[in-house]
Amino acid sequence: QSALTQPRSVSGSPGQSVTISCTGTSSDVGAYNFVSWYQQHPGKAPRLMIYDVNKRPSGVPDRFSGSKSGNTASLTISGLQAEDEADYYCCSYAGDYTYVVFGGGTKLTVL
Amino acid sequence: EVQLVESGGGLVQPGGSLRLSCTASGLTLTNHWMTWVRQAPGKGLEWVAYISPDGNTIHYLESVKGRFTISTNNAENSLSLQMDSLRAEDAAVYYCARLRSITTWDLWGQGTLVTVSS
């Protein structure tokens, strides 16, 4: 069982927006602004999409955005495209003992 | 091109050992914090260990403490993960990655598969 809770799956049609939630606790997501999101296509390595809650690395389309409220972080993908279909994982710093926790992953299907 | 390439995965019996390597090109590993992350078949990601650029600060996932050892080799520009007393639950694809901050891993290798089975 993962420390952070994500929906198992979400879906949307091309052009639509979807939001993936990531719920933790006051010891991880709620305590630190070290929340990242990773995209993973089948058989591939993860790719960093969002870091520090809402920052985008260079090369990541601005259709991807992140936010946080309390113990829940969110990844929003607007203007869905076929290539966005992938698994998405959130992770958070959880203090100087546990260090890093992940969500169980969300499968995004573009209909 | 900046890239990380893992090697050393394979089939090992429970209780056995394996040493994974992560070789860098286009960057000097000892200038960066590095990490190992694993993914069991069909499962999610799990952080395993960190090492600081000077090798003096190391952190491990609780379940691998005392069994796994992360290290860097300046001469070979490589990162290693020595895995001893392997268990079935350690079976996974192991990725090395570069840290920009504690949860910001911006460069990944392609992964190497570790299978633990008798």
Averaged pLDDT of chain A: 96
Strand, coil or helix: B49:
strand
pLDDT at A97: 81
pLDDT at A11: 97
Q: Please compute the mean of the pLDDT values over residues B87-114 and round it to a whole number.
A: 96
DSSP code of residue B90: G
B108–A103 C-beta distance less than 8 A: no
Please enumerate in sequence order all residues whose Cβ is within 8 A of that of B66, keeping only pairs 6 or more positions apart, or say none.
Answer: none
Q: What percent of chain B has pLDDT over 90?
A: 91
Please enumerate in sequence order all residues whose Cβ is within 8 A of that of A5, keeping only pairs 6 or more positions apart, or say none.
Answer: A21, A22, A23, A24, A103, A104
Q: Please compute the mean of the pLDDT values over residues B3-23 and round it to a whole number.
A: 97
Averaged pLDDT of chain B: 95
pLDDT at B30: 86
Per-window interface: B 42-61 vs A, CB < 8 A: 44-47, 50, 59, 61
Per-residue model confidence as pLDDT tens digits over A48-76: 999 999 999 999 999 999 999 999 999 99
- Is the pLDDT score of A1 beyond 80? no
Q: Does A12 touch chain B (CB under 8 A)?
A: no
- Is the pLDDT score of B38 beyond 90? yes
Q: CA-to-CA distance for A70 and A23, rounded, in angstroms? A: 9
- Is the pLDDT score of B109 beyond 90? yes
B50–A2 C-beta distance less than 8 A: no
The full DSSP string for A38-81 is: EEE-TTS--EEEEBTTTB--TTS-TTEEEEEETTEEEEEE-S--
Do the beta carbons of residue B80 and residue B18 sit within 8 Å?
Answer: no
Residues in chain B with CB shorter than 8 Å from the CB of A88 are none
pLDDT at B22: 97
Q: Does A52 touch chain B (CB under 8 A)?
A: yes
Q: What percent of chain A has pLDDT over 90?
A: 94
Q: Please compute the mean of the pLDDT values over residues B96-116 and round it to a whole number.
A: 95
A103–B44 C-beta distance less than 8 A: yes
Q: Please compute the mean of the pLDDT values over residues B39-45 and round it to a whole number.
A: 95
Q: Does B95 touch chain A (CB under 8 A)?
A: yes
pLDDT at A39: 98
Q: Does B110 touch chain A (CB under 8 A)?
A: yes
Per-residue model confidence as pLDDT tens digits over A29-43: 999 999 999 999 999
Q: Please compute the mean of the pLDDT values over residues B39-53 and round it to a whole number.
A: 95
Minimal Cα–Cα distance from B44 to chain A, Å? Answer: 5
pLDDT at A96: 85
Question: B113 to chain A: nearest residue by CA?
Answer: A43
**Which of B44, B59, B101 has its CB closest to that of A105?**
B44
Residues in chain A with CB shorter than 8 Å from the CB of B100 are 51
Q: Does B102 touch chain A (CB under 8 A)?
A: yes
